[in-house]
Homo-oligomer: A and B are copies of this chain.
């Protein structure tokens, strides 16, 4: 599966299997092709040669963008958490004066679910690869730890007293990020996940913290405003 599928678009020899790809930069095309191959054949079963073939470029041209497949994987992994961290950092600074912890958490969880829904070829399936414990993926692992810590802080601040008394901030962070990552499972199982799932996941995060339906509704409204502003700015 290393050669490009036939295309009937005349004059576009590099375009291969979808119209989206033709609007990507070379760097993005490499990331997209690599993610597809990692998902199909596994990380260890994929060579930089196969990635270059899939994009329709020479292997040497790939090395102009990335030192090797490790660097490609590192970038794909970071790309699956960075948008959520950047989005929520702004918002967390406005808690609790302008937005409640529950509102900020709803916004984070739905944006994070959205990010995972849009990663190329469901790259989150690689989060548990043994290779990722290697120091070369420190940046990604630290970003994910940072994201989990934000979930923990916002979650502990939003939780009802009973939950705060029985579940540590650290465990709250672990549970909430796990709920957001259900998107990875839905995509893996080829369920037709949608933006509705982002809302269900965000609501589930607040329910786990003991919030009532009315409190969740209020948080959703708060989140809607900040999320719409952020999406417009993208």
**Chain A interface (Cβ within 8 Å of chain B)?**
38-45, 125-131, 162-163, 166-167, 170-171, 174-175, 178-179, 181-182, 184-186, 188, 191, 197, 200-201, 203-204, 207-210, 213
Asked if A128 contacts B128 (CB within 8 A), the reply is yes
Describe A's contact surface by its main secondary structure: helix
Bound together, the chains give a CA A41 to CA B134 distance in angstroms of 11
Copies of this chain assembled into the complex: 2
7 cross-chain pairs, A with B, having the tightest CB-CB distances, nearest first: A125-B128, A178-B182, A162-B213, A44-B44, A207-B208, A204-B208, A42-B130
In the complex with contacts A44-B42, A130-B39, A174-B167 CB distance below 8 A: no
Complex interface: chain B residues within 8 A of A188 (CB): 128
Among residues of B, the one whose C-beta sits closest to the C-beta of A37 is: B130
A175-B179, A178-B185 known; 16 new pairs, CB 8 Å cut-off, are A39-B130, A42-B42, A42-B129, A42-B130, A42-B131, A44-B44, A125-B128, A125-B130, A128-B188, A162-B213, A166-B200, A171-B200, A174-B182, A174-B185, A175-B201, A210-B213
Bound together, the chains give a CA A41 to CA B133 distance in angstroms of 11
Please give the distance in Å from A62's CB to the nearest CB on chain B.
22
Asked if B163 contacts A207 (CB within 8 A), the reply is yes
Please give the distance in Å from A140's CB to the nearest CB on chain B.
13
A-B contact pairs, 22 of them (CB 8 A): A42-B42, A42-B43, A42-B130, A44-B45, A125-B130, A127-B128, A162-B213, A163-B207, A167-B200, A170-B191, A174-B185, A174-B186, A175-B179, A175-B182, A175-B201, A175-B204, A178-B178, A178-B182, A204-B208, A207-B207, A207-B210, A210-B213
